[in-house]
A = this chain, B = another copy of it.
Amino acid sequence: MHLTNLQIQLAARPIGFPKLTDFQAVETANPVPAEGELLLETLWLSVDPYMRGRMSDAKSYAEPVKLGEVMVGGTVNRVVESKADGFKAGDIVAGFSGWQRYAIANPKQLRKLDPTLAPISTALGVVGMPGLTAYFGLLDVCDPKAGETVVVSGAAGAVGSIVGQIAKIKGCRVVGIAGTNDKVKWLVEEMGFDAAYNYKDTPNHLAKLRQLCPNGIDVYFDNVGGVITDAAMIHMNVHARVAICGQISQYNLEQPEMGPRMLGMLIVKRAKVQGLLVTDYMARWGEGTKELGGWLKSGKLKYEETIVDGLEKAPEAFLAMLRGENTGKMLVRVEGN
């Protein structure tokens, strides 16, 4: 065990796209667990788009991280010391201990992992928060039916790649939108999407969507927003369902963007647009995890990880994820793992 803890803290609130200097690495005293608590060592750290929101002090669904506080985030940890019933040193758990080497946790905040079932890092991806977001967002908000056309933006990301695969399991035609030709190839060849396109070299999204979705769009799962979403809305079918999971094109704008008003389109299409937050489904996470785990085991669900080594590299990993440099889940592998 190291003599000190290492924390990656929020140093400044970003203006526009975050910078490395918005973070600071600080050595702090090792935390000591009280009775009923656990001392955890971080093995894997997840970096996710929602963290951009926590860096800002704009009102949102969760409190912002304070300046000088450790960045929040989902983790996979090893128990170093247990003062709580039911846990012992060496146990592997999924938690939310943030961007730091060591942390104290209450057992209630943790889920014990069985490393023989699946690689432990999948607790941050395909059978963790991104997988559950895909599962409930697609199935509960969008109710896809066999034969329908499902379009996913941010398709090569941790959530989008699972959305598309679940839609295929449900018998849909699946079209992905991603940001590189390699991702497009990966979506079609590895993830089983029916079609995909690179938004960065597509001048006319509407024309492209019309070409790839000749029967229109029944379900649109949106991680991106902006002009891609404008086009998807226009190509929607009557009674289309749209899940708004993320709007990553908007998170780093210095000024809110204007766009064409599209509520009139919702009347014409009698479409539903619904915002999605996975924590609203917490009571059903067991159901989701079980189903995702089953698909994973049977080979129906594949996943990919983009791994950055070293806790001190977490800010770089986070910025790279915001730039779309990951394929599948972006993870930080912490030293000692």
The chain A residues found within 8 Å of chain B, CB to CB, are 59-61, 222, 225-226, 229, 238-239, 244-247, 250, 256-261, 263-277, 280
Closest residue of B by beta carbon distance from A279 = B270
Tell me whether B238 and A61 are in contact (CB under 8 A): yes
CA distance A203 to B238 in the complex (A): 36
Neighbour of A272 across the interface among B60, B257, B258, B272, CB < 8 A: B272
A-B contacts, 28 listed (Cβ < 8 Å): A59-B268, A60-B268, A61-B238, A61-B268, A61-B269, A61-B270, A222-B263, A225-B263, A225-B264, A226-B261, A244-B264, A247-B267, A250-B261, A256-B261, A257-B261, A258-B259, A258-B260, A258-B261, A259-B260, A266-B273, A266-B275, A267-B276, A270-B274, A270-B275, A270-B277, A271-B275, A272-B272, A273-B274
Q: How far is the CB of A277 from chain B (nearest CB, A)?
A: 5
Closest Cβ neighbor of A230 among chain B residues: B261
- Closest residue of B by beta carbon distance from A239: B280
Q: A225-B261, A260-B256, A261-B259 are in contact. Are A275 and B267 (CB under 8 A)?
A: yes
- The reply to whether A269 and B273 contact each other, CB–CB distance below 8 Å, is no
Residue of B nearest to A59 (CB): B268
A222 to chain B, nearest CB (A): 7
- CA of A261 to CA of B229, assembled, Å: 11
